[in-house]
Amino acid sequence: VQLQASGGGLVQAGGSLRLSCAASGRTFSSYAMGWFRQAPGKEREFVAAISWSGGSTYYADSVKGRFTISRDNAKNTVYLQMNSLKPEDTAVYYCAADIGSEYGQILPYEYDYWGQGTLVTVSS
């Protein structure tokens, strides 16, 4: 599985961004997907996950109500809509594929494939 994340950039606090992650190499609708982020000097942390069908989603408490994960299995793409962005959301955002699970996991080691990351910077 190859994952290509895009959509990062510089945005002011309170603004919005939409990240995309295009997948290839395996039937996209057969595995769960997740988004993680890593800020400078910090460990990679869970942001959101979505089941293979898109019917179940999970969020970190820090983004609940502001971020929305979705997927389009016809386009082999998962999205992360980020609204009401805060400076503490600044990080490199990674998409990941969990081949062995129908539902997304919250631990990075559960995921099998990772995208290259896209930088999100939120200015105050």
CB contact set of 31 (below 8 Å; sequence gap of 6+): 1, 52, 97, 98, 99, 100, 101
Nearest CA-CA partner of 80 in 108, 115, 109: 115
Q: What is the pLDDT of residue 102?
A: 84
pLDDT < 70 regions, the chain? none
Q: Token pair of 79, please? A: 């999205």
**Measured distance CA(112)–CA(119) in Å, rounded:** 21
Q: What is the pLDDT of residue 26?
A: 84
Q: What is the pLDDT of residue 30?
A: 87
Q: What is the pLDDT of residue 76?
A: 95
Q: What is the pLDDT of residue 25?
A: 87
Is 119:82 a contact under the CB 8 Å cutoff? no
CB contact set of 22 (below 8 Å; sequence gap of 6+): 3, 4, 6, 75, 76, 77
Interior CA angle at 46 toward 95 and 11, to 5°? 70
DSSP structure class, residue 61 = T
